[in-house]
Amino acid sequence: MAIINKLIEIATDEGINIHNITPKIQDLIASTSIQNGQALVFSRHTTTALAINENEERLLEDIKVFLRKLAPESERYLHNDLHLRDVPEDEPINAHSHLMAMMLTTSEVIPIVDGKLALGTWQSVLFFELDGPRKRTVFVQIFGE
């Protein structure tokens, strides 16, 4: 069984933004000889997340509104008391972003069948930036035969 590790780099915009990374994952799979197996997709940051859902513009806006209601930026959070802990000079006020990320997930495992992701008709792998703008990386481990 082959195991191949790859990274996807994503430059994100300010605030919450959602990126369809399905084509990038599929391109990585196509660059290998693996026809059947699995792709593990892992978000490497504490203020980002992943989900498999429909990549439809109005739904993506609904998701952003929903996340902002779950963890409003205007609330008082202990994590934002930067003067009470050692932090880098450029440390953002971002407790709300950490909380949003906790409501989603950091990884997805997707079957590979005949060299392609075995996603349903309306499914896409979505990467959530919750504290942008930043340069982010997503780890993809492709394994199989």
As given in the structure block, the two tokens for residue 113 are: 């069948």
Digit-coded pLDDT (tens) for 118-130 = 999 999 999 999 9
- Whole-model pTM: value is 0.95
* Res 91: pLDDT: 87
* pLDDT tens digit sequence for 64-118: 999 999 999 999 999 999 988 888 888 899 999 999 999 999 999 999 999 999 9
Pick the CATH number of 2-74+94-144 from 3.20.20.70, 3.40.250.10, 3.30.465.10, 2.60.120.460: 2.60.120.460
Write out pLDDT tens, residues 15-73.
999 999 999 999 999 999 999 999 999 999 999 999 999 999 999 999 999 999 999 99
